Structure 1
Amino acid sequence: MIIIRTLILYIAVLTVMRIMGKREIGQLQPFELVVALMIADLAAIPMQDTGIPLLSGIIPIIILMAAQVALSYISMKSLNARGIICGRPSVVVANGKLVEQELRYLRYNINDLLEQLRAKNYPNLADVEFAILETNGQLSVIPKSQKRALQPVDLQINTKYEGIPLTLIIDGQLNEQNLRKVNLTREWLVIELHKFGIDDFKRVLFASLDTAGQLFYQLKGKPDGGRV
């Protein structure tokens, strides 16, 4: 009985979290974090106490999910509501200077700011033009133009489009949907791999195709890959 209740609650919580959207813990807005914590507590109570009806845990979880989805929709449609629900980003460094009033309002001390700047690879505050504390608590840093990494545009160099390589095979399993995206067929891939003595997809740990048409592959049990 306990096993069945646990599995039902697990599936319910997993379904609810999927409906609520994909977010890392560090990217959750305050109201989203509160909902996630409450859902965890609501699921734990009927899971531990078999005397509590299962619906007593599932119904509040569904209500919280509906409230979270509604708040997310409202915040997406209304800037004013978004400011109330999620808050607004706070500029803590502006034009290379600490914004003392904002730091005091946020109760955000300078040591915490310096720690986060070091984590972003900016150990020297003098290198920072703007630092913005986002609504999810993460710090966004805009360095001074003299301190930013060199970009091809700085040297007036034109670069080619790279795009994202398409995964074709993972652990021996062929992704035919990605093949269709680039107007290629299973037969084409068979011929290309056969050139290298590979006669079975199951032998391939990973294979991908980049936007230049180069095929990368790696066989199972062999760390060295290859390009076609």
Structure 2
Amino acid sequence: MPITLVVIIRSIISFFILLVLVRLMGKQQVAQLTFFDYVVGITIGSIASTLSVQVNESLMSTLAGLATWAVLAILLAYLSMHNVKLRNLVDGEPTVVIENGKILENNLNQIRIPIEHLLSELRTMGVFNISDVQSALFEPGGKISVQKKFQKQPVTPGDLNISPQYDGLPINLIIDGVLLKDSLRSLNLTKAWLHHQLEKQNISDVNEVSLAQLDTKGNLYVDLQGDKSCYIIQTKD
């Protein structure tokens, strides 16, 4: 069998096995991965690439190695969910780096984070003044969590004893010119109703619409295909 065909076949096998294993290992976002998770992922990917192109390597032995790493990762994740000590050992614990506006240099040195990196992370959280911070922690995944001092926190409707109107998720009614009938049905609306709303802006064909969303306040957001205008149509006349 030609070597190119062998590589293609092994690549297809590797691709779908890796897809299955990744699905089994969970749906963590990259930002939520610990350093250990990242290393395990890189290793499994490396084994999969070996399975794909190293035709001199035994297919079954490489598959066994790939499955072993994946099973160990899944098993460790399962055990960590039910054992706090093991979870802290594998994932690590949050580290307090600022307390009452004071940078804790010893804790920063312990996790090997320079002050410049801390300041950069704070800026991404909208904090430019250390004195505004009550507490800041570096999470096991490397992200920073910040609690501002009480007097620096934004005012909420609850602070003003205001009960705002409920504002839930908008429902997509049209995507890329395709009418989503299930969405209309879930809202007890009809195609005739939607066409009537679109005609308020002289839109006669749903194919002209890139995205149409209906929010909980009855506002229909319509974005037309290409660089044409977008509209907000009041449906509750």
Q: TM-score range by the shorter chain?
A: 0.7 to 0.9
- 1:65 deviates by 2.4
Shift of 1:40: 1.2
1:114 to 106, 119, 122: 119
CA distance in 2, matches of 1:56, 1:200: 58
Supply the distance in 1 between the matched residues of 2:165 and 2:61 (Cα, whole angstroms): 58
TM-score normalised to structure 1 length: 0.86
Once the two structures are superposed, the pairs formed by residues 117-128 of structure 1 within 5 Å of their partners are 117-128=122-133
Contact 1:46 1:56 in 2 (8 A): no
- Number of the residue aligned with 1:32: 37
Mapped to 1, the partners of 2:60 and 2:199 lie a distance apart of 56
Aligned to 1:135: 140
Output the aligned Cα RMSD.
2.4
Aligned residue identity for 2:101: G
In the superposition, relative to structure 1, how do residues 178 and 57 fare at CA in structure 2: closer, same or farther (>3 Å)?
farther
Q: Counterpart of 1:221 in structure 2: which amino acid?
A: G
Match of 2:158 among 153, 158, 183: 153
2:149 aligned with 1:177 = no
Alignment pair present for 1:220 and 2:225: yes
Quickly say closer, same or farther: Cα 1:213–1:110, change in 2 above 3 A: same
Looking at structure 2, the residues matched to 122 and 162 of structure 1 have their Cα atoms a distance apart, in angstroms, of 28
- 1:218 aligned counterpart, secondary structure: strand
Matches within 5 A, 1:41-190: 41-190=46-195
Kept after mapping to 2: 8 A contact 1:219/1:225: yes
Question: C-alpha separation between the residues in 2 aligned to 1:63 and 1:188?
Answer: 56
Report how far residue 222 of structure 1 moved: 4.2
Query: 1:191: how far off?
Result: 4.3
Report the equivalent of 1:17: 22
Q: Is the 8 A contact 1:74 1:81 kept in 2?
A: yes
Which letter maps to 1:77?
H
